[in-house]
Amino acid sequence: MLDKIRNDVRVLMGNDDNGHGFEHVERVFKIAVKIAEEKRANVEIVALAALLHDADDYKFVGAENAAKLANARRIMTENHVEENKMSQVCEIILTMGYSKFLQGIRPQTLEGQIVSDADMLDALGAVSVVRTVMYTVTHGSRKLFDRNMFPENNLTKEKYTAKGRDRDSAVNHFFDKLLKLKYILFTPEARREADIRHRFMVDFLREFFREQDCFDWIDYLEEYEKKEQKTA
């Protein structure tokens, strides 16, 4: 059944070129199942939620459709997933994601926390650099970096999801979101991996700024890091 569902998700997302398509889903699936096995969580629920978690992404189907989870429900129904499993999976999908986090919504079960952690891990590290650039080019501002445009601090959910944010540079997305993620993970397994990936992103940004003599940005980065560590 999982193989069939994976294939249905690939058909649904396959042609997406925004760094958010099926490759992302496969990576999240792999990390989530690994953590679930280590923690002896319900692997089937974790696997289903990981495969289906972006099938109704608000950025692509709109907020109203996203809340209905029409794609995820259709795929599970067509593959005869039992009603009680389906509702556990939907509950997880509806409580994960950074914009949900900004609204104070958190996954309540271990399975939900694992899938949420896996999704956020895939927004960190070398993978994140590539995904963010892909997103910026295909759906965002097409601007990698503007040395005169410093990030706004601590965006609210409204500001974070406002369409205008897509005018932000790729580099600013690291400060808006990516450099905050390691502090909001649930499982120690994911936190350990997040530390490594976080360090890589900071090194990447420091070098990116150094190559362009943007020493004010290096200072900004160091200050930002100190502040985030303190408030974590």
Binding site for ligand ADP (CB under 6 A): 19-20, 54, 57, 59, 97-98, 119, 122-123, 128, 131-132, 135-136, 140, 165-166, 168, 170, 173, 178
How does DSSP assign 26-44, residue by residue? Answer: HHHHHHHHHHHHHTT--HH
**Computed from CA positions of residues 126, 25, 63, 183, in that sequence, does the dihedral angle turn out positive or negative?**
negative
Binding residues with Ni ion: total (CB under 5 A): 2
Q: How far apart are CA 209 and CA 49, in angstroms?
A: 38
Q: How far apart are CA 174 and CA 102, in angstroms?
A: 16
Q: Which does 111 bind (CB under 5 to 8 A by kind): ligand ADP, Ni ion, none?
A: none
Give the nearest distance from C-beta 128 to ligand ADP in angstroms: 5
Site for Ni ion in 127-146 (CB under 5 A): none
Q: Which does 118 bind (CB under 5 to 8 A by kind): ligand ADP, Ni ion, none?
A: none
Q: How far apart are CA 52 and CA 16, in angstroms?
A: 15
Give the nearest distance from C-beta 144 to ligand ADP in angstroms: 10
Contacts of 148 (CB under 8 A, 6+ apart): none
Residue from 16, 54, 117, 193 touching Ni ion (CB under 5 A): that is 54
Q: Which does 165 bind (CB under 5 to 8 A by kind): Ni ion, ligand ADP, none?
A: ligand ADP
Give the nearest distance from C-beta 219 to ligand ADP in angstroms: 23
Q: Which amino acid, 146?
A: D
Contacts of 177 (CB under 8 A, 6+ apart): 98, 123, 160
Binding site for Ni ion (CB under 5 A): 54, 119
